[in-house]
Amino acid sequence: MMWELRRYLKPYLKFMILAPLFMMLEVFFDLLQPTLAAHIVDNGIVSRNFSVIEQTGFLMLGVALLGLVTGVLCNFFASRASQNFGADIREALFTKVQTFSFENVDAFKSGSLMTRMTSDVVQVQNLVQMGLQGLVRSPSLLIGSVVMALIINRRLGLILLGTLIVLIAVVALLIRFSTPIFSAVQGKLDAVNTRIQENLAGIRVVKAFVRAGYETGRFREVNGEYTRVSIRAARFIALNSPIVTLIMNACLVTVLLYGGNQVSFGSVKAGDLVAFVNYVVQVLSSLLMVSSLLMNVSQAKVSADRIQEVLAAQPHIRSAEAKSECSLPGRSVKLENVSFSYNGSSDPKDLVLQGINIEAERGETVAIIGATGSGKTTLVQLIPRLYDVTSGSIQLDGQDIRGLPLQELRRRIGMILQESFLFTGTIRDNIAFGKPDAEQAEVEAAARIAQAHDFISRLPEGYETKLGQKGVNLSGGQKQRLSIARALLVRPPVLIMDDSMSALDARTERQLLGALKDITAEAVTFLIAQKISSVTEADTIIVLDDGEIAGSGSHEELLQNCKVYQEIYRSQFGSEEVPYVSEPAVQSV
């Protein structure tokens, strides 16, 4: 799969050519050293010619310096290529994830995506770095040393070749058995990251329920599995160096025994034996590096597969092509016989929503109420295509939203989510998230409608107050009001408020609903609420029960003819007599 990522290396082709070129020069200078050493032994030390020793020694020093310069240049260009390569892949992964629908994110899991964008990218990035250095240097030095060894003495060279064949077979076996283990290591790391992310996100719940011990036990379990698999992988890596060293040392002993006899018989010069031994040592170091690099290649292949899996994934929700003219004033929203299941199945047992029919015009407010788990949030998430309907259709101004470009559709929808999510940055940045070029007056106007301006003004830095991660330095009600202001700033034609006032007190909620009248008069508004007091003034109230519409109408109409609505009313207002109820109560369909 590394081959599939080659397109991210193309912009750095110049660096990828220069790095191996300088590495080849470094190898050339390294291969000269044993030959120069042999010249010193045969023509300097044996002949007691100190001028030869001095001249050749200075020459060896110069060659070493040239090797140093070429090595540094190789490292510089290899680093430029690998670091930019890694940065581009991370950006590509991040950009790809932005196109994912909720189904894609659920399939990969956020912890796994984090691992792929960090640990896996580092693995392939390091492989490029080592490939441009080690995978050029080691094979070149290995082949060059074997060639030079054969030139010096063919019989001794055959001993070296036989040893290499044995070593290649051993390393191939190690790689074959280690690849599945490296894959398991990354999978277990996914589980560790997912558990950490989940615990950090819910740390307040853990502390509130005194479950730190329980969570520590859960983490210990996944961490232990990751450790066990990592140790198995480390065993294969640990076997590599000792086995290669043992075989090469056996080869070196054999060369010394045989070569020493040849020197004593005069058939081999002492300097040649010294040079041959140096080449054997270079072969040993090259093999150790090659075998280690091949292990890294095995690890990087697993990571590359995982990266490519994300890059190749197709979003479940595809945007329609933008048309030259896209007239969507957002005057009406219609849900026609909509059914939905999270797994895409049309089996009634899997459907979360079934047979939903709703129609709303500009200036109308449609409130959606129902028990927890009745499908309220799921329903409004279908309107901006966060999920796609399983059957039926949703239309904006008479056009099926599946035929509209996603950006055009979502620009016309302001959604205040059930969970108030704020980004690290200033309060102003968070309110202007959907309209970064908004004037300060616009930001303040939106904050006033959301009943947030007063508390913001009391902060020492006002709208420039820095927020921590997820707005941890604000209360729940303050975060909700900022989320509301963020949606109101863009003045969307369609406004969805998903239980966005649950953390507000009754007085603030009334003030907010009153301030929203000018906004809702110019928008199609969907209001999800748990409290009946929040929806009494809505034009239409939809009562959901187990994914189906149990009733629809005004507050008074539902109190008269919808049993589910009556039950919700009694649960919130105690045993008070329900007005307008006729006996027996008839449930509307």
Q: Domain residue spans in the chain?
A: 2-181+237-312, 328-412+496-554, 420-491
> 126 pLDDT exceeds 70?
yes
Residue 423 to residue 414: CA distance in whole angstroms: 17
pTM given for the model? 0.70
Q: Which CATH number fits domain 328-412+496-554: 3.20.20.80, 3.40.50.300, 3.40.50.10490, 2.60.40.1180?
A: 3.40.50.300
Q: Is 295 exposed, middle or buried (0-12, 13-18, 19+ CB in 10 A)?
A: buried
Residue 188 to residue 112: CA distance in whole angstroms: 10
The pLDDT-based confidence of 581 (bands split at 50, 70, 90) is: very low
Chain segment 487-506, per-residue pLDDT in tens: 899 888 999 988 877 777 77
- Count other Cβ atoms within 10 Å, centred on residue 344: 12
Fold classification of 2-181+237-312 is ABC transporter transmembrane region fold (1.20.1560)
Question: Would you state the torsion angle of the CA atoms of residues 303, 309, 311, 314, taken in this order, to the nearest 10 degrees?
Answer: -170
H helix and E strand count, the chain: 19, 12
Structure tokens at 342: 């999270």
| Locus of tokens 């896996």 | 120
Structure tokens at 347: 């089996």
| Beta-bridge partners for 396 | 333, 399
Residue 136 to residue 114: CA distance in whole angstroms: 32
What single-letter amino acid sits at 120? D
Chain segment 202-246, per-residue pLDDT in tens: 776 676 667 788 888 888 888 888 888 888 888 777 777 787 778
Chain segment 268-301, per-residue pLDDT in tens: 777 777 777 887 777 777 777 777 777 677 778 8
Residue 142 to residue 265: CA distance in whole angstroms: 29
| Locus of tokens 């050339």 | 28
Residue 481 to residue 497: CA distance in whole angstroms: 12
What confidence score (pLDDT) does residue 360 get? Answer: 92
Query: Residue 500 in 3-state DSSP?
Result: coil
Q: Do domains 328-412+496-554 and 420-491 have the same CATH topology?
A: yes
Residue range 324-345: mean pLDDT, rounded: 83
Q: How far is CA 579 from CA 307, 483, 552, 570, 571, in A?
A: 61, 36, 17, 11, 14
- Lowest mean per-residue pLDDT among 283-292, 297-306, 507-516: 283-292
- Average pLDDT value for the chain: 83
Give the contacts of 469 (CB within 8 A, at least 6 positions apart): 424
Length of the chain as a residue count = 589
Peptide bond into 584 cis (omega under 30): yes
Q: Domain 420-491, CATH 3.20.20.70 — does that match?
A: no
Helix axes 121-152, 13-40, angle to 10 degrees: 30
Q: Which of 351, 470, 360 is CA-nearest to residue 413?
A: 360
What confidence score (pLDDT) does residue 586 get? Answer: 37
> 337 pLDDT exceeds 90?
yes
The pLDDT-based confidence of 88 (bands split at 50, 70, 90) is: very high
Q: Is 562 exposed, middle or buried (0-12, 13-18, 19+ CB in 10 A)?
A: buried
Cα angle: 118, vertex 199, 201; to 5 degrees: 80
- Lowest mean per-residue pLDDT among 129-138, 196-205, 348-357, 554-563: 196-205
Residue range 383-407: mean pLDDT, rounded: 90
**pLDDT more than 90, % of the chain:** 23
> 264 pLDDT exceeds 80?
no
